[in-house]
Structure 1
C-alpha cells in the first residue's frame, strides 16, 4: 500500500513531533481512517520529505512523530510562471491541478477584457485559497516537495509589465515561432501567457508586443484555454525541461 503524502504548512526542520493541520487531520482521520502506528510521509515545501509515524489519530486531531529528513528534488530545471486568464466553471481548477503536476512553479490568475468571470473581493480571496489547496493536493499526488505559489489575481496589463528576466511567451495562431524554434531560455525561465475562452483583444495583443512577449504557434488547431495551457507547458518541458527524461 502506498504511504500517504501529507503537506504540512510549517517548517518541519529539527522537529520531533508535529500536529497536522486541520485539513490534513481531516483527510488522515476521517477520509483515510488511519490509526496510531501507521506510516505517513510529510513535506513542508522545502524540497525535503519527512517519514513519520502517527502517534494520535482522532477525527479532529492527528499527531505524528518525525522519523527522519531527506532532500528529494522533483523540480524541473525549467522554471515556468503561468499567467492564466481566469476561466469559467471548474476549468480553472483543472488548469491549476494539471499545470502543477506538469511542473509549473508560479501561477498568476489574470483579468482580461474578454474574461467571462466576475468575482467580488471576498470571493477572490476564497478562490485563491481554493486554488492553493488544489495545488497542494496536486503536489501530494504527484510527488513534488516544493509547492507552487498561487499569486493574487492581477490585471493582464500589470502582469505583462512585470520584468523578472524570464522569456515572455504568448500563444498566437499567426506566430512565426514554434516552441521548438525558440531562442535559448534564460536561467529565470519562462513567463507563459494564456488568454481566456475568447482570446486576447487586439489591444491586449499589441500590449504584449510592446512588453516584449514573443508570439508562439502551438500547432494548426485552435485549442480551448485549458487545453492550450497544458499543451504549451508540456511542449516546453519536453524541449527545455525534464518531461521525457
Structure 2
C-alpha cells in the first residue's frame, strides 16, 4: 500500500510500537503539525524502512504503530574519501554523498588542505546530524559510516580491502572502461589538489586513475561527480 505525503525520520529501532524521540516529536508536532492516524516512514539506516501510523499524540510525545516493513539490499559499497575542505563545503559534500548513496564517507588531512582536520573533530556530532537529516530527506535505506583520518596514509592503511580510484584529468580511462565493480574507494583531493607525495602513495598502492570530466572541477564538484558517475555505471 502506497500512502501519499509520507514523511521520513531516522529511527534505529523499528519495533512494532514506538514512542518517538524528542527531535522527531518536535518535527511532527511543531513543524509538520501531523495528526493522529497519519502515516510516516521510519528508516533504521541499516536497510529497513517501516511505515507507521501515528497512534497517540500528547503534549510532548508521539507513539506510532507499525503498518509494514520494507527491506532493501545495499547495491554497492562505494566509499568517498576527500581531503578536508574549507568552510561549509565539507558539510555540503557529506550531505550530498548520503543523497547519492555512499556507503562510507572518509575525510582526511591532505597536504594541500586549507582547513585543518583537528577543527573537524569538534564537529563530529554536527556531521552525524547532517548524515541523519540527509537520510531522512533522501529516503536512503542506509546511513553511511563517517570516519576522519589525520592523513591519506592512515586512511589507505585502514582500507586495504578496497580497490582505490583517484581522479586524473589526463587518464584515458573513465568508469565505462575501467571495469568498476560494486566495491571501491574513491580519493578526491582538497582545493589545492593532491600533493606529488600523495599521488605517489596512491600509485604505490595500485590506485586506478580515472577521468571524470573534460574540464577542471572544484574539489566539492569532483566529489559528487565521481560518486554519481560510479553509482550510475553499475545500475
After TM superposition, list the pairs within 5 Å mapping 1:59-208 onto structure 2: 61-73=60-72, 75=74, 77-118=75-116, 120=118, 124-185=120-181, 189-208=183-202
Q: Deviations over 1:63-110 (max 9, x none)?
A: 2222234223274x2320111111112211221121211111000111
Question: Gaps (5+ residues) in structure 2?
Answer: none
Do the aligned residues in 1 keep the contact of 2:84 with 2:108 (CA within 8 Å)?
yes
Separation in 2, partners of 1:16, 1:183: 43
- State the secondary structure of the residue aligned to 2:52: strand
Residues 100 and 139, structure 1, Cα contact 8 Å, conserved in 2: yes
Q: Is the contact between residue 124 and residue 153 of structure 1 (CA under 8 Å) also seen in structure 2?
A: no
> For 2:7, which of 4, 7, 10 is the aligned residue?
4
In 2, Cα distance between equivalents of 1:126 and 1:40: 33
Secondary structure of 1:68's match? strand
Give how far 1:236 is off.
1.1
Task: Give the Cα–Cα distance (whole angstroms) in 1 for the partners of residues 208 and 104 of structure 2.
Answer: 19
Q: Provide closer, same or farther for how the CA distance between residues 119 and 111 of structure 1 changes in structure 2, counting only shifts above 3 A.
A: closer
The correspondence for 1:227, drawn from 217, 221, 224, is 221
**TM-score of the aligned structures, taking structure 1 as reference length:** 0.85
| C-alpha contact (below 8 Å) 1:74/1:143 kept by paired residues | no
C-alpha change, 1:89 and 1:57, in structure 2 (3 Å) is farther
Partners in 1 of 2:138 and 2:200 — Cα distance? 38
Provide the secondary structure at the position in 1 that maps to 2:53: strand
User: If the length of structure 2 is used for normalisation, what is the TM-score?
Assistant: 0.88
CA contact (8 A) 1:84 1:110 kept: yes
Provide the C-alpha distance between the structure 2 equivalents of 1:83 and 1:119, rounded to a whole number of angstroms. 13
Counterpart for residue 19 of structure 1: 19
Tell me by how many angstroms 1:207 deviates.
Answer: 0.9
Flag the 1:178–1:51 CA change in 2: closer, same or farther, 3 A: closer
How far did residue 159 of structure 1 move?
0.7
Aligned residues: 232
1: distance between equivalents of 2:58 and 2:221? 41
Quote the Cα distance in structure 2 between the aligned partners of 1:213 and 1:118: 25
